[in-house]
Chains A and B, each alone.
Chain A
């Protein structure tokens, strides 16, 4: 079971930046809001490390734009949204992900039905 979690963690680690860009493309979001959007789709980040350093890197690389605004009844938050460069990176990354996923699916086709969760 631990091994399954580790594998899932490794798989997610390589695509978490794309996941963040994708959820903030739905609408500007602050850190915790992105965590909630990910969790709503079944992605928890318990073993993957925090999203904050990753958001820092996206910001440093110019993949996101930020601004501060008041949240709903709370203190001002830093909102993130993809920059033009970030949108291109997201599109290219999703294309790569789908290509890799399809190739791996083709390899796993013969075993897929035999594996029980």
Chain B
């Protein structure tokens, strides 16, 4: 019994619970557990599931009494700490930023790539003009409908639409997830 109380004391000390409050809780707990033991009642019947986890029990009690801030409750050093994850809000903002950058980059590459392609097609039209030197060029020859030109654009620019697609799909997926979470969080009407 006293080992359980000792572990609670250690946890309260670690969490910075003031000594008078920790002493009071420890004394009450010890007295209750001793009385229960004398009546043949197990610690589990007195403490519930807390009997198997003195640290959580101690932290929970101190927190509910308002002796420590909820954020002060962290895994004890002996327990392996879970990998720190950034808060959901900052993760969401990071993802939105990434997708927004992809969209901007995609649009920029698409526009520049399109301009480059037009610039490469332009001279081909002009080369059609001197077919018969000295004669005016018929308008149909300038329409470009019979001109077949293979345009080789830098592959970097061809990635623009792909980046744009990834960005848009990513943002839409996040929007859908956000809506779904909001719907799930709302209480259903009685």
CB within 8 Å for A31 and B45 given contacts A53-B60, A54-B64: no
Residues of chain B within 8 A (CB-CB) of A75 are 27, 31
Residues of chain A within 8 A (CB-CB) of B61 are 50, 52-53, 56
Q: Are A60 and B64 in contact (CB under 8 A)?
A: yes
- Mask of B53-68 contacts with A, CB within 8 angstroms, 1/0: 0000100111111100
CB within 8 Å for A30 and B46 given contacts A52-B61, A56-B64: no
Q: How many interface residues does A have (CB within 8 Å)?
A: 26
Q: Nearest CB to that of A60 among chain B residues?
A: B66
Query: Out of A32, A47, A59, A77, which one reaches B46, CB within 8 Å?
Result: A32
- Chain A's nearest CB lies how many Å from the CB of B92? 32
Q: Are A52 and B29 in contact (CB under 8 A)?
A: yes
Bound-state Cα–Cα, A52 to B33, Å: 12
The total of Cβ contacts below 8 Å across the A-B interface reads 75
Residues of chain B within 8 A (CB-CB) of A31 are 28-29, 32
- Mask of A28-60 contacts with B, CB within 8 angstroms, 1/0: 001110010001000011111111111011011
CB within 8 Å for A53 and B28 given contacts A32-B36, A45-B45, A74-B35: no
Further 15 A-B residue pairs, CB within 8 A, beyond A31-B29, A35-B45, A53-B65: A30-B28, A32-B31, A32-B35, A45-B45, A46-B49, A49-B48, A49-B50, A49-B60, A50-B47, A50-B48, A52-B57, A52-B61, A57-B65, A75-B31, A78-B24
Interface positions of A (Cβ within 8 A of B): 30-32, 35, 39, 44-54, 56-57, 59-60, 71, 74-78
